[in-house]
Structure 1
Amino acid sequence: MNNRRVVITGMGIWSCLGTSLNEVKDALYAGKSGIGIDHDRITYGYQSPLTGIVPEPELKGKLSRRQRIGMPQEAEYAYMASLEAFQGAGIDTDFLLHHEVGVIFGNDSSSRPVIETAKIMDEKHDSAMIGSALVFQSMNSTVNMNLSTIFHLRGINFTVSAACASGSHAIGLAYLLIKQGLQDRILCGGAQEVNYHAMASFDALNAFSKRIEQPQQASRPFDRDRDGLVPSGGAAALVLEDYDSALARGANIIAEVAGYGFSSNGGGIQQPSDSGSVTAMSRALRDAMASPDDIDYINAHATSTPQGDMIEALAIDHIFNGTHALVSSTKSMTGHECWMAGASEAVYSLLMMQHNFVAPNINFENPDEYSEPLNLATATVDTQVDTVLSNSFGFGGTNSALVLKKIAKQ
Structure 2
Amino acid sequence: MDHRVVVTGIGIYSCLGENLDEVTKSLYAGKSGIVFDQVRKDFGFRSALTGMVPEPDLKNYLSRRQRLGMHQPAVYAYMATRQALELSGLDVDFLETTETGIIYGNDSTAASVVEAVDKAKEKHDTTLIGSGAIFQNMNSTVNMNLSTIFKLKGINFTLSAACASGSHSIGMGYLMIKQGLQDRIICGGAQEINSAAMASFDGLGTFSVRESDPTKASRPFDRDRDGLIPSGGAATVILESYEAAIKRGAPILAELIGYGFSSNGDHISNPSIDGQTRSLRMAMNQAGIAAREVDYINAHATSTPVGDGSEARAIFEVFGGEIPVSSTKSMTGHECWMAGASEIVYSLLMMQNSFIAPNINFENPDEDSAKINIVAETKAQEINCFLSNSFGFGGTNSTLILKKFS
TM over 0.5: yes
Q: Which residue of 1 aligns with 2:160?
A: 161
Determine helix, strand or coil for the equivalent of 2:50: strand
How big is each residue's C-alpha offset from its partner over 1:231-280, in whole Å with a ceiling of 9 and x where there is no partner?
Answer: 00000001100001111211110000100000000011111000100000
Instruction: Report the AA paired with residue 335 of structure 1.
Output: G
Aligned residue runs from structure 1 range 166-245, under 5 A: 166-245=165-244
Q: Which residue of 2 aligns with 1:87?
A: 86
Q: Which residue of 2 aligns with 1:28?
A: 27
Q: Which residue of 2 aligns with 1:315?
A: 314
Q: Which residue of 2 aligns with 1:144?
A: 143
**Alignment pair present for 1:379 and 2:377:** yes
Q: Which runs of 4+ in 1 moved over 3 A?
A: none
Q: Which residue of 1 aligns with 2:329?
A: 331
Distance in 1 between the 2:157 and 2:92 partners? 21
Distance in 1 between the 2:270 and 2:131 partners? 39
Q: Which residue of 2 aligns with 1:261?
A: 260
**Alignment pair present for 1:393 and 2:382:** no
Determine helix, strand or coil for the equivalent of 1:132: coil
Instruction: Report the AA paired with residue 110 of structure 1.
Output: T
Distance in 1 between the 2:250 and 2:269 partners? 42
How big is each residue's C-alpha offset from its partner over 1:336-388, in whole Å with a ceiling of 9 and x where there is no partner?
Answer: 00000000000001001111110000000110001001111000110110000
Instruction: Report the AA paired with residue 26 of structure 2.
Output: A
Distance in 1 between the 2:274 and 2:131 partners? 45
Distance in 2 between the 1:113 and 1:92 partners? 30
Instruction: Report the AA paired with residue 256 of structure 1.
Output: E
Instruction: Report the AA paired with residue 70 of structure 2.
Output: M
Distance in 2 between the 1:18 and 1:136 partners? 27
Distance in 1 between the 2:128 and 2:36 partners? 34
Distance in 1 between the 2:99 and 2:38 partners? 44
Aligned residue runs from structure 1 range 34-183, under 5 A: 34-183=33-182
Determine helix, strand or coil for the equivalent of 2:21: helix
Distance in 1 between the 2:131 and 2:393 partners? 32
Q: Which residue of 1 aligns with 2:354?
A: 356
Instruction: Report the AA paired with residue 379 of structure 2.
Output: V
Distance in 1 between the 2:60 and 2:8 partners? 27
**1:43 deviation in Å?**
1.2
Instruction: Report the AA paired with residue 131 of structure 1.
Output: G
**1:67 deviation in Å?**
0.6
How big is each residue's C-alpha offset from its partner over 1:163-206, in whole Å with a ceiling of 9 and x where there is no partner?
Answer: 00000000000000000000000000000000111100000000
Distance in 1 between the 2:124 and 2:200 partners? 26
Q: Which residue of 2 aligns with 1:6?
A: 5
Distance in 1 between the 2:45 and 2:388 partners? 31
Determine helix, strand or coil for the equivalent of 2:189: strand
How big is each residue's C-alpha offset from its partner over 1:199-237, in whole Å with a ceiling of 9 and x where there is no partner?
Answer: 000000001000000000000000000000000000000
Distance in 1 between the 2:323 and 2:93 partners? 43
Instruction: Report the AA paired with residue 295 of structure 1.
Output: V
How big is each residue's C-alpha offset from its partner over 1:42-83, in whole Å with a ceiling of 9 and x where there is no partner?
Answer: 111111110001111110120000111100111111001000
Pairs aligned (count) = 406
**1:123 deviation in Å?**
2.3
Q: Please identify, of 89-98 and 387-396, the stretch whose mean Cα deviation from structure 2 is larger.
A: 89-98
How big is each residue's C-alpha offset from its partner over 1:109-167, in whole Å with a ceiling of 9 and x where there is no partner?
Answer: 00011111221232222211212211100110000000000000010000000000000
Distance in 1 between the 2:92 and 2:58 partners? 17
Query: Unmatched 5+ residue regions in structure 2?
Result: none
Query: Unmatched 5+ residue regions in structure 1?
Result: none
Distance in 2 between the 1:45 and 1:205 partners? 13
Q: Which residue of 2 aligns with 1:280?
A: 279
Identity of aligned residues (%): 62
Do the aligned partners of 2:323 and 2:372 also contact (CA within 8 Å) in 1? no
Distance in 2 between the 1:375 and 1:264 partners? 27
Distance in 1 between the 2:285 and 2:330 partners? 29
Distance in 1 between the 2:269 and 2:346 partners? 27
Q: Which residue of 1 aligns with 2:245?
A: 246
Distance in 2 between the 1:128 and 1:71 partners? 19
Distance in 2 between the 1:63 and 1:125 partners? 32
Instruction: Report the AA paired with residue 227 of structure 1.
Output: D
- Let me know the Cα RMSD of the aligned residues: 0.7
Instruction: Report the AA paired with residue 338 of structure 1.
Output: C
Instruction: Report the AA paired with residue 226 of structure 1.
Output: R
Instruction: Report the AA paired with residue 48 of structure 1.
Output: S
Instruction: Report the AA paired with residue 37 of structure 1.
Output: F
Distance in 1 between the 2:47 and 2:374 partners? 28
Q: TM-score, normalised on structure 2?
A: 0.99
Determine helix, strand or coil for the equivalent of 1:372: helix
Do the aligned partners of 2:323 and 2:373 also contact (CA within 8 Å) in 1? yes
